[in-house]
Structure 1
Amino acid sequence: MAMLSTKSNSGVSSPPVGSPGRTVMSQPRGERLKCRSKLKICTWNVKTMSKEGKIENAIQEMKRMHIEIMGISEMRWPNSGEMQVENHKIYYSGKNDGVHEYGVGVIVSPTVAKCVTNFTPVSERIMLLQIQASPINISILQVYAPTADKEEEEVVELYQEINKIIEKIPKHEILIVMGDFNAKIGAVNRTQYIGAHGLGNRNDRGDLLEKFAESSDLVVMNTFFELPPRKLYTWKSPQDKPERIVRNQIDYILVNRRFRNSCKSVRTYPGADLESDHVPLVGVFQTNLKKVKKRILVKHDMRRLRDPSIMGDVFQDVNKEIQKNKEEVDIEQKVNHIKESVQKVKEKYLKPDKRKKKSWMTEEILGMMEERRISKNDPQKYKNIQKAIRNKIREAKEKELEDRCTEIEFLQQKHDSYNLHRKVKELTGTCNRKQQGKLTDSDGNIIIDKQEKLKTWKEYLEKLFEDQRERHLQMEEPTNGPTILRQEVESAISQLKDGKAAGPDEINSEILKLFDEESVILLTEMLNTIYDSGKIPSEWLISEFIALPKKPGAKKCEEYRTISLMSHLLKLFLKIIHRRIYKLCESRISPNQFGFINAVGTREALFAIQVLFQRCRDVNCDLYICLIDYEKAFDRVKHDKMMEILKETGINDKDLRIIGNLYWNQTANLRTEGEHTENVKIMRGVRQGCVISPLIFNLYSERIFCEALDEMEKGILLNGLRLNNIRYADDTIVFAENLEDLQALMDNITYHSNQYGLNINVKKTKFMIISKNKITGSQLYINQTAIERVKQYTYLGTIINEDWQNSQEIKSRIGKAKSTFNRMSTFFKTHNLSLDIKVRLLRCYIFSVLLYGVESWTLNEDTIKKLNAFEMWLYRRILKIPWTARVRNEEVLRRMKKDLEIMNTVKVRKLQYKGHIMRNESRYTLLQSIMQGKIFGKRGPGRRRTSWLKNHGSIKQTPTFPDCSRQSKNCYNNREHSSRISTPRRCLFLLKCSSFIVVGRIKKNIIHLLLPYLVPFNLFFY
């Protein structure tokens, strides 16, 4: 049995590990790496790692000093996660609000990276890294304590948080707590925990550190080794001068007392250089590392199928493999054979290229950094070299930017949009770091152990999907259900989307699309066997969840979004069923549901409430609104009630049986950190990632609102009918003319929702009143709990408020678009890309953020000025024109070789949308009623505020609303009329008939700019 040495430079000896009365080996002897028995571990406050070239400099210093693990204090990287640089793995934990402040990290060598078992980002001041070693595992806590200007309470809280982590770490492991503690212990009398060889005088923070060490049974190792002061100090004060030395010891390495003898030495290396006023503190530990056997998820590059030769080879091989087992009868065997055939072909042809990413760092810069280190004692030379390094780094980064921009230009010429946008994201730094969160238990304690994490996730899933239902599905023997046709299978395969993550069977949709006619026939026979028997393959019944944080800093399971990965073969099968039942189910869904319905979406929902509430305001009709938020609505659907609703729709018996068996026999597990939880029985909720789940949820929601509201004559009177709710899936707005009516509506909705398992989240549900009069004292209650009244609310991603004006929403959209632009400023401000590509990607990344929900906007002069000013703000920054240059807007547009387009786009999309609604009476009956229907009320005196409908009248050359309605329905005749006009005259004709060209001179470049937008909708303006 390997033993730790029992002697150290501190002169203290103890029985060896593994002897009676001491620690037993925590791990059996496993595969050892060929590494030194002495492991160098370092901690260093580097002031910041956000500067270009600093991470490469740190790795260079690690290699020079043969350091395997380097802890970093004051990392200044936001969020938490891991990334790889030059084969070294970097783990970091920072602030969740995106601020580059505080932060800790650990850089490990390639050897140690293979032995890391767990990484836990605790906060911006603490992180934990666990390493498998022999004979005893190592746990490292990297710390950055508050500076002297912070309150003492912050330091106490930090130590309390560290203690909570220490309690979770097994006692038989080596524990190292290291970092910048901003405390001076000084040279004091020796104790069990503090040595006599500290530096300087103790301060109050030093007393706190000693108390922490005693309470946690930790030994401050760099106070136990007798060394000269130059190898003890860790920080150089700004007042430090050759004639007056001011240096202190404020960084420490602490080891649990039980394993103090594993530490052979601790000293500082003043000769190391990383542009910091601290020096590295290095400890040498006697231990061996053990390689961790991790489950590696093999990724395959589906993009390689774009190569015709590779696609041809895959086409031949996959069909040849699948057709080998034609005579197989057992369904499970057939599914396994398809899976194995696809996997075999993917392994042969679709392995990703393992090309090493080229770094911008050059050997010349690294050499200059080494020269700078050697010149530390010559301040002037050090300063000159540092200036030269900054210049070289700037040149190297510009060269890298130029090369990447050349790649982007080349991809644009090839029309390879996928790789183009991937390169843009790499260039802007939005996809190079793997984010990682933490998990806490019900008491708020951070979970460290991986098995405990899996157990916590399993318990959460069991609680989430637990329900009381019949153990077995009771169904009569099906009597009807048409046979699945080959054409249906081919159509369903063509509708599968590329680029989607594969499920547990690892079969991608791109491979399914390469099936030839004979393979499709075999697949059709297999699906028909499943359809006729109702027996679903066991692998199809297992869903795999992955957890993604809903927001930065997620801790609890509830704060993660569980995304389901399911078999693509199952998706194909359910697409066929979905196509058969869709029209039957959709006919039972009311027109005020806008979620998961063909030809409608968030745009229609936002338009409906915008125009409806504006029209109510115009006729002095007060509105009392409740914005409902359900608790995990999709996961609360009761399966027995769901089946009752589906039976009443009249779908085929075999389709119903497939859906029932799928829901009654399904299980799921969750994948985290490469491990899976045990399978959990899903007793309620609709299946995530399933194509028929949205349809089922809409039917389920429809039943609730039908039972709750059918006999209630409350709401807004529109064309003689009562309208009292607008829904987008589970995001629901309920409204009435007075508080009593709204309270009655909500009482009924709450009761019937509870009957169907859906609970209203009282904390997130809000109450709003829209009225010209100031109404106070009104209160809405749900389950005897008062609902908070708000002045504004974010609904479907847009801000709605009591005044029902879009100025606040437009201001918010401009702010979000500016934020996106600033994140991508490196890309937009470079001179290495043509203006054409910049403008194209400006529309893709910036305008798309700005113009979300634009069809429902109501514009005025103020908002138009803000939109135009924002567009000019973008162009000035692209051209790098400062405000002090006094360059006029006309000159900016001339340099951009374009005209203002945001307002043109806004007006075009609004007019397009109006014509689209007016032409489709059957689909948009409710929206047409909202636009033209009679609302009970009386106009007040004075001029009406601008509404969405009247907004068009304020735009020059716009036809009146009745004219638009009439002409939009006669668009085909207008198209025939316009086709008789010659091309040049037609361009002018379209522009004159549109609504957004100011009277005056029409420039040719405006025609070229706007004509593509006008062609699809121009005809209803004539």
Structure 2
Amino acid sequence: MKEDTPKLEARLEKLKNDIRDVLNDDTLPVAEKQLAAEALETERDNIEAKRHQKIRDAVSDKFWLQGETLSKYWINLNKSRTPRDTIARLRTGRGDQRTHTTSSKQMAEEARSYHESLQNAGLCEDLTEEEVEEVLSHLTTRLPNHHKYRLAEYLDEEEVRQAMKDLPNGKAPAFNIIQILTRIFNDIERHGIDPNTDFAKGWMCPIYKKGDETDIANYRPITVLNTDYKMMTRALTTKLSEAAPTLIHPDQAGFMKGRRIEDQTDLAQMLLYQCEQDNMNGLFVFLDQEKAYDKIRHDFIWRTLETLNFPNHFINTLKTIYNNGETCIIINGVISDTYRVVRGVRQGDPLSCLIFNLAIESLAAMLRASELRGFQTSGEEERLITSLFADDTTVYLSANDNLETLQQVLKRWCRCSGAKFNTNKTIYLPVGNPEYRAQVAQTRLFGPHHIPEGVQIAADGTPVRMLGAYIGNGIMNPEVWTPTLDKLKSRLAQWDKSRPTGNLLAGQETLR
């Protein structure tokens, strides 16, 4: 149909012009003019009917293929339509110079200025090489040679073809450009990105979260990247994913093949139960990183990859991709000037998750190598001290552990990596026997150490949200799941509007 449609459109346009010319041709007799016009109109109507039938067939085919499946097409059929969000005004300036603007251009530039300022905010200017070496010295794994050789190779056509296949439906270009893309990607690997191109450019759309709507800090930055950029980094991700499990400890479950998010939540639930049954007193510390993916230092990433024995070819390819990154802001359809991305891993980049996992692995290694005892679980030789899902980090402390030791580990890692932990979003969950839990919650003392002000202590009956699940002491109340259940009911009610037959495919299962 895609090939026929332009021809039909062109023929219809020609018939439209021919009919107009015939009707305006005063040299033809009226009867002849009428016959000629009728013939042209008949042909036009037939082509219109043919085009309309092709459209109906295409819609029908798409519905049979994607209808009642968990696809973007079927979900959008039943999705409620809301007007596109616009930003009416934003606060500009600081202190006594604070004012507001309603100009979309000025708002876009204000957003650009805000996000550009975050690039260098909070970085340690007095960071020494010795500090970085000490942090990275805890990384004991190294990239095996066969993986190193693999990552040192240039991307080939089969890898680019697979990257294209892995793209979501409706996102991939045609397969006839694979050879061209492979040559482009290889050229980037050899010579870097041409600065005159927008290959590594991103377009950021701020989406309102909560709070003051005039404060740009209360908007979630959603960045869109070029398809060819994502195809290249997806191909690199596929190669990296083969090697990542040899470098990243099983404590990290985020975006790792064969490791699941429920592994971490089930672990916390079971350990919580065991602590109460066996009187294993201690503390679960749920850490929260502030804009984790946006703050990690690029030079820390490069040093991490070098320490892990990555080939220079792979590191240099990443450097040219990251060093040429730039972003502009779009507000109300108005595009700001660009700013350089000199920090963080990029949102929407398939490579970002594994690169961040490698960067945060040194923190997990520091915790495992520290004097913190954590918990010893049955059947495990290695003590349990931490679990991670990407940047979501949980630390398990026994009652005899020193809270200051944990704080020092976090401080040293943050200085080197550029990261920052949110004290006001960190949650401490006392575990063990009820008397001990109550004592910690009431006195804010963990052994001889005072729990910092601003840190929330989850007393009995207070649910703690961990990776989408709720854990805590004495939280059998099902009301904690009420918002989630209400959301599910609302979604099912939307889907019910399409009168599903009951054969809705969910993964490999059929709901009946």
Q: Deviations over 1:174-203 (max 9, x none)?
A: xxxxxxxxxxxxxxxxxxxxxxxxxxxxxx
Residue 578 (structure 1) aligned with residue 210 (structure 2)? no
Q: Distance in 2 between matches of 1:464 and 1:789?
A: 30
Q: Deviation at 1:679? A: 1.0
Residue 456 (structure 1) aligned with residue 105 (structure 2)? no
Contact 2:201 2:225 in 1 (8 A): yes
SS in 1 for 2:101: coil
Q: Deviation at 1:813? A: 2.7
| Cα distance change on mapping 1:450 and 1:421 into 2, 3 Å | closer
Q: How does 1:404-415 map to 2 (within 5 A)?
A: 415=66
- The residue aligned with 2:162 is 491
- The residue aligned with 1:671 is 330
- The residue aligned with 1:482 is 153
Cα RMSD for the two superposed structures:
3.7
Q: Distance in 2 between matches of 1:704 and 1:782?
A: 23
Q: Distance in 2 between matches of 1:651 and 1:746?
A: 30
- The residue aligned with 1:651 is 310
Residue 662 (structure 1) aligned with residue 321 (structure 2)? yes
Residue 416 (structure 1) aligned with residue 62 (structure 2)? no
Q: Deviations over 1:476-531 (max 9, x none)?
A: xxx993233222221121111224xxxxxxxxx33x2x223xx4223322322222
Q: Distance in 1 between matches of 2:279 and 2:432?
A: 7
What is the TM-score with the length of structure 1 in the denominator? 0.38
Q: Distance in 2 between matches of 1:695 and 1:684?
A: 16
SS in 1 for 2:240: helix
Q: Distance in 1 between matches of 2:198 and 2:67?
A: 36
Q: How does 1:87-486 map to 2 (within 5 A)?
A: 309-310=1-2, 415-417=66-68, 418-425=72-79, 430-438=80-88, 439-441=90-92, 442=94, 446-466=100-120, 481-486=152-157
Contact 1:704 1:756 in 2 (8 A): no
| Cα distance change on mapping 1:540 and 1:779 into 2, 3 Å | farther
- The residue aligned with 1:752 is 413
Q: Deviation at 1:701? A: 0.7
Q: How does 1:796-945 map to 2 (within 5 A)?
A: 796-803=467-474, 805=475, 807-808=476-477, 810-821=478-489, 825=493, 828=496, 837=501
Q: How does 1:757-768 map to 2 (within 5 A)?
A: 757-768=418-429
- The residue aligned with 2:178 is 520
Identity of aligned pairs, percent?
19
Q: Deviations over 1:740-782 (max 9, x none)?
A: 4344223322332233211111111121212332332133679
- The residue aligned with 2:132 is none
Residue 694 (structure 1) aligned with residue 358 (structure 2)? no
Q: Deviations over 1:134-178 (max 9, x none)?
A: xxxxxxxxxxxxxxxxxxxxxxxxxxxxxxxxxxxxxxxxxxxxx
Q: Distance in 1 between matches of 2:124 and 2:194?
A: 21
Q: What code does the residue aligned with 2:375 have? A: I
Residue 794 (structure 1) aligned with residue 465 (structure 2)? yes
Q: Deviation at 1:458? A: 1.7
Q: Deviations over 1:668-693 (max 9, x none)?
A: 11111111111111121112211111
| Cα distance change on mapping 1:782 and 1:598 into 2, 3 Å | farther
Q: Which has the higher helix share?
A: 2
Q: Distance in 1 between matches of 2:211 and 2:67?
A: 33
Q: What code does the residue aligned with 1:447 have? A: T
| Cα distance change on mapping 1:673 and 1:770 into 2, 3 Å | same
Q: Distance in 2 between matches of 1:411 and 1:532?
A: 42
| Cα distance change on mapping 1:627 and 1:756 into 2, 3 Å | same
Unaligned runs of 5+ in 2: 11-58, 126-148
| Cα distance change on mapping 1:648 and 1:414 into 2, 3 Å | closer
Q: Distance in 2 between matches of 1:587 and 1:656?
A: 18
Residue 721 (structure 1) aligned with residue 382 (structure 2)? yes
Q: Distance in 2 between matches of 1:785 and 1:739?
A: 21
Q: Deviation at 1:562? A: 0.8
Q: Distance in 2 between matches of 1:591 and 1:533?
A: 37
Q: Deviations over 1:858-882 (max 9, x none)?
A: xxxxxxxxxxxxxxxxxxxxxxxxx
Residue 546 (structure 1) aligned with residue 205 (structure 2)? yes
Q: Distance in 1 between matches of 2:383 and 2:234?
A: 36
Q: Deviations over 1:980-999 (max 9, x none)?
A: xxxxxxxxxxxxxxxxxxxx
Contact 1:628 1:732 in 2 (8 A): yes
Contact 1:713 1:722 in 2 (8 A): no
Q: Distance in 1 between matches of 2:236 and 2:257?
A: 17
| Cα distance change on mapping 1:617 and 1:676 into 2, 3 Å | same
Residue 601 (structure 1) aligned with residue 252 (structure 2)? no
Q: Distance in 1 between matches of 2:244 and 2:75?
A: 38
Q: Deviations over 1:810-869 (max 9, x none)?
A: 4333443235535765875x7xx75x63x567x97xxx9xxxxxxxxxxxxxxxxxxxxx
Q: Distance in 1 between matches of 2:464 and 2:175?
A: 50
What is the TM-score with the length of structure 2 in the denominator? 0.72
Q: Distance in 1 between matches of 2:65 and 2:245?
A: 42
- The residue aligned with 2:444 is 778
Residue 531 (structure 1) aligned with residue 189 (structure 2)? yes
Unaligned runs of 5+ in 1: 1-308, 318-344, 349-407, 471-478, 500-508, 849-908, 910-1010, 1014-1022
Q: Distance in 2 between matches of 1:1012 and 1:677?
A: 47
| Cα distance change on mapping 1:553 and 1:483 into 2, 3 Å | same
| Cα distance change on mapping 1:413 and 1:530 into 2, 3 Å | closer
Kindly name which structure, 1 or 2, has the bigger radius of gyration based on alpha carbons.
Answer: 1
Q: Distance in 2 between matches of 1:740 and 1:421?
A: 50
Contact 2:275 2:431 in 1 (8 A): no
- The residue aligned with 1:93 is none
- The residue aligned with 2:282 is 623
Q: Distance in 1 between matches of 2:220 and 2:260?
A: 22
Q: Distance in 1 between matches of 2:495 and 2:483?
A: 19
Contact 1:727 1:733 in 2 (8 A): yes
- The residue aligned with 2:29 is none
Q: Distance in 2 between matches of 1:782 and 1:637?
A: 30
Q: Deviations over 1:280-331 (max 9, x none)?
A: xxxxxxxxxxxxxxxxxxxxxxxxxxxxx21x569xx9xxxxxxxxxxxxxx
Q: Deviations over 1:41-64 (max 9, x none)?
A: xxxxxxxxxxxxxxxxxxxxxxxx
With CA pairs under 8 Å and 6+ residues apart, which has the higher RCO, 1 or 2?
2
Q: Deviation at 1:629? A: 0.9
Q: Deviation at 1:582? A: 2.5
Q: Distance in 1 between matches of 2:239 and 2:165?
A: 16
Contact 2:66 2:73 in 1 (8 A): no
Q: Deviation at 1:541? A: 2.4
Contact 1:630 1:758 in 2 (8 A): yes
Q: Distance in 1 between matches of 2:400 and 2:425?
A: 19
Contact 2:251 2:387 in 1 (8 A): yes
Q: Deviation at 1:729? A: 1.2
Contact 1:747 1:782 in 2 (8 A): no
Q: Deviation at 1:633? A: 1.2
Q: Deviation at 1:412? A: 6.5
Q: What code does the residue aligned with 1:449 have? A: S
